Amino acid sequence: MSPDDSFENVLRAAKEGAEWAWTRLYRDLAGPITGYLARRGAPEPEDLAGGTFLQVARNVQTFEGSEASFRSWVFVIAHRRLIDARRAAGRRAEVTSLDALVDPVGGDAEGEAVDQLVTEEIRRAFGLLTDEQGDVLSLRVIANLTVEETANVMGKRIGAVKALQRRGLLALRRMLDVEGVSK
Amino acid sequence: MNRFDDYESEMKTRFSDHDIERLLTGGNPDSRELADLAPLLEMVKASASHEPSEADTQRYAAEAAEITRLESTRSAGAAGPSSVSAHHRKGWLASSPRFGTALAAVLLLVGMTGVAFASNDAAPGDSLYGIDRALENVGLGAGGLGERLLEAGALVNHGRSAEALAHAAEALDTSGGEDEAVTAAAAALQSAAERLEQMDLGGDNGMEVRSKVAEMLTWIAGTELTGQDFDRGVSELARGITGQSSSVPGDNGNRPPGDVPAGDQGGRDG
């Protein structure tokens, strides 16, 4: 980043209502937010991500901190909206939306068949996770958040997040063993 | 079950925090059991990758900039002596009669000029200046539903009437708590929003719809009606927006703006 592109300058301009700054922030954040929400079964992930972004705009005047903490803060808002959406829908997260997201690379039939097989395994494996296990692993893997940031997003202690990710990985590992996938 | 318990216990001893961290950050864990999960997690990551469209980027960036400007103005106004009073007419509507006036001013300018809120430098003579003054005069500190209605007004300003209705519906639904009348009103707005999405809102039709949505938002902000009277008023105005028949709510001086008579709904798009 050049000095003018520093996060501090972008944030300052965003607080002043500069559209270029919000464009920059949206381009940086919309992808991972939407991916996270979609992966966690949000019914309308793009709309929910957009709502998250506008909530960020409403509250940005109160934010002070680094780029990493800003990212974490944005995911706090996204996660809360996800929880609200789940409550509104009256159901736990579904992983079926994964199918719609998968866009296999390449055109060979064999490759696509493998992708489909793996996708099905992901769907089944993540279906074994609790909402919280799935949230933790998705925040870590998709959003690239640290343990500490994930704990902040979920309002949990770091130890609790570590336990959730461990149990989640154990569940995935068990799935692979039982189904004879992998290797 | 015992077999799985034993299995989990065994895995716990093999899955160290350090190894888990390496796996989740894209590294190579020492544990074979964990390493086998790497392709799965990579697939999860790849499947969730998402590139925002240019249209969405422009749309949300413009709206966020606009909201930020409104928030800045609100903060400046809230510091003055004319901050919104604690008088809550409906309990769930943190607003004051002056808020309705400010919103009316905003929407009137929207309707007359079609101006976007994009400028940061509103000055006397600009169409934006009136908006700024309206917000400053009312000392917008209302928050909650009031701010959401202003945002809905901004959406109207951008010609996004259906989204404005949906936004107002969500705001009402959120603010209404367990007030069934407010929830019903929100549902009526949502229904109208969905109907608008199916309609052709080009040209004069679109302008007329925008005007009616603006009127309805102003009415919501300013009315003293509560309970079923409030629901009835919102529902009838919502039907009027989408061209369905409606009658004027009997609200004793809190009639919807424009006093929309039955049958005067101006065509298919309301």
DSSP track, B52-100: --HHHHHHHHHHHHHHHHHHHHHHHHHTSTTPPPS--SSSS----HHHH
Helices within B79-179 (DSSP H only): 97-113, 127-138, 144-157, 161-176
Tell me the C-alpha distance between A107 and B163, whole Å: 38
Give yes or no for residue A64 having a pLDDT over 80. yes
pLDDT band at B2 (very low <50, low <70, confident <90, very high): low
Give yes or no for residue B115 having a pLDDT over 90. no
CB contact under 8 A, A17 and B61: no
CB contact under 8 A, B52 and A166: no
Partners of B15 on chain A (C-beta within 8 Å) are: 166, 169-170
Please, which residues have CB within 8 angstroms of residue A78's CB and are 6 or more apart in sequence?
A33, A36, A37, A48, A49, A52
Lowest mean pLDDT among A8-17, A87-96, A160-169, B246-255: B246-255
**Residue, of A5 and B17, whose pLDDT is higher:** B17
| Best residue of B47, B51, B56, B140 to probe chain A, by most A CBs closer than 10 Å | B47
Chain A closest-CA separation from residue B232 CA (Å): 24
Partners of B65 on chain A (C-beta within 8 Å) are: 14, 17-19, 21-22, 57
Lowest mean pLDDT among A28-37, A46-55, B9-18, B58-67: B9-18
Lowest mean pLDDT among A60-64, B51-55, B256-260: B256-260
Contact predicate A79/A42, CB 8 Å: no
Q: CA-CA distances (angstroms) from residue B104 to A117, A122, B120?
A: 57, 52, 21
Check if B56 contacts A (Cβ < 8 Å).
yes
Tell me the C-alpha distance between A75 and A80, whole Å: 8
pLDDT digit string (tens) for B176-221? 666 777 778 888 888 888 888 777 777 667 777 877 887 777 777 6
B-chain residue closest to A177, CA distance: B33
CA angle B106, B109, B112 (to 5 degrees): 150
| Best residue of A20, A23, A75, A179 to probe chain B, by most B CBs closer than 10 Å | A23
Q: Using CA atoms in the order A74, A76, A77, A83, what is the torsion angle rounded to 10 degrees?
A: 150
What's the average model confidence in pLDDT over A16-36? 93
What's the average model confidence in pLDDT over A62-89? 86
Tell me the C-alpha distance between B55 and B75, whole Å: 30
Q: Can you give the pLDDT at residue B162?
A: 84
pLDDT band at A118 (very low <50, low <70, confident <90, very high): low
CB contact under 8 A, B34 and A169: yes
Beta-carbon count within 10 A of B187 CB? 17
Tell me the C-alpha distance between A15 and A20, whole Å: 12
Q: Residue A58: which of B41, B61, B67 has the nearest Cβ?
A: B67
Place of tokens 């700054």: A21
Give yes or no for residue B120 having a pLDDT over 50. no
Contact predicate B109/B130, CB 8 Å: yes
Tell me the C-alpha distance between A19 and A36, whole Å: 25
Partners of A56 on chain B (C-beta within 8 Å) are: 64
Q: Which of A76-80, B166-170, B215-219 has maximum average pLDDT?
A: A76-80
Give yes or no for residue A2 having a pLDDT over 80. no
| Best residue of B68, B121, B163, B183 to probe chain A, by most A CBs closer than 10 Å | B68
Q: Can you give the pLDDT at residue A49?
A: 92
Beta-carbon count within 10 A of B83 CB? 16
Give yes or no for residue B150 having a pLDDT over 90. no
B-chain residue closest to A14, CA distance: B65
A-chain residue closest to B163, CA distance: A47
With H, G, I as helix, E, B as strand and everything else as coil, classify residue B50: coil
B-chain residue closest to A142, CA distance: B45
Phi, psi of B258 (to 5 degrees): 90, -10
Contact predicate A30/A45, CB 8 Å: no
Give yes or no for residue A145 having a pLDDT over 50. yes
Tell me the C-alpha distance between A102 and B192, whole Å: 34
Q: CA-CA distances (angstroms) from residue A94 to A57, B51, B107?
A: 29, 22, 41
Contact predicate B201/B269, CB 8 Å: yes
Partners of B147 on chain A (C-beta within 8 Å) are: 58
Q: Which of A13-22, A166-175, B202-211 has maximum average pLDDT?
A: A13-22
Chain B closest-CA separation from residue A21 CA (Å): 8
Tell me the C-alpha distance between A48 and A60, whole Å: 18
**pTM given for the model:** 0.52
Tell me the C-alpha distance between B270 and B264, whole Å: 9
Phi, psi of B263 (to 5 degrees): 85, -10
A-chain residue closest to B42, CA distance: A141
| Residue type at position A68 | A
The number of CA neighbours under 13 Å toward the Cβ of B115 is 19
Interface of B with A in 170-229 (CB under 8 A): none
pLDDT band at A11 (very low <50, low <70, confident <90, very high): very high
A–B CB contacts, 8 A cutoff, strictly below:
158
